[in-house]
Amino acid sequence: MYLGDFKVFFNDISSRFTLESISREKTLDGKLLKRNPTELLWNVLDFVKDSDGIDIGNGKFVSIESFFRKRTRILFFILIHEFESRLYRVHKWNGYSLERLDNMSLNDMIRDLVNDSKVIEIQNVYTSVNEFRDDLKAVSSFRNIIVHTNRKLLTGIGIENLINRKNQTAQCLLALQEILDVLEKRQ
């Protein structure tokens, strides 16, 4: 999913955020997911959508609210940063001047990428430009929530949407890396 040095970096950071690291000795009611205390938050994210909390055994629990606090937000922030970095590098390798890049917003970079059919054809992750564009826009919009808002991650976005954004960001990173690999070989 995450290629090269970034994969090593991301895995190293995410390995520090286990369920046990945010658990409390406090009983939770409702539908509880049973998981191993050493499981990583990032890996469990895909399974929490219908749960009120996570039971990790030995009287320890993780509430859904604490699950989506700082650590999960940090992991998303790292992904978003890598997303922006790859998008920037695609345009740099595609001949954009540094001055032009520095004056572009994230939405400008997405718009230019989607409008460049030669670059879009390089990647094999997405079968249509519309699908790629929709995911790029979703990640861009999600970026604003991650970077600028604390509580919205839990209260303003449903868990289902968080799971979707996690998967969309991963797909975008893969597609952007495929484009970068080809553009770098051309240099």
Q: What are the sequence ranges of the domains in the chain? A: 4-67, 70-186
pTM metric for this prediction: 0.88
Question: What is the rounded CA–CA span in Å between residue 142 and residue 162?
Answer: 9
Question: What is the rounded CA–CA span in Å between residue 116 and residue 112?
Answer: 6
Q: Which residues of 105-139 are buried (b: 16+ CB within 10 A; e: fewer)?
A: ebeebbebbbeeeebbebbebbeeeeebbebbbbb
pLDDT, one tens digit for every residue, the chain (187 residues): 446 789 899 999 999 999 999 999 988 889 999 999 999 999 999 898 888 899 999 999 998 888 777 888 899 999 999 999 999 999 999 999 999 999 999 999 999 999 998 888 999 999 999 999 999 999 998 888 777 766 566 566 778 888 899 999 999 999 999 999 999 888 7
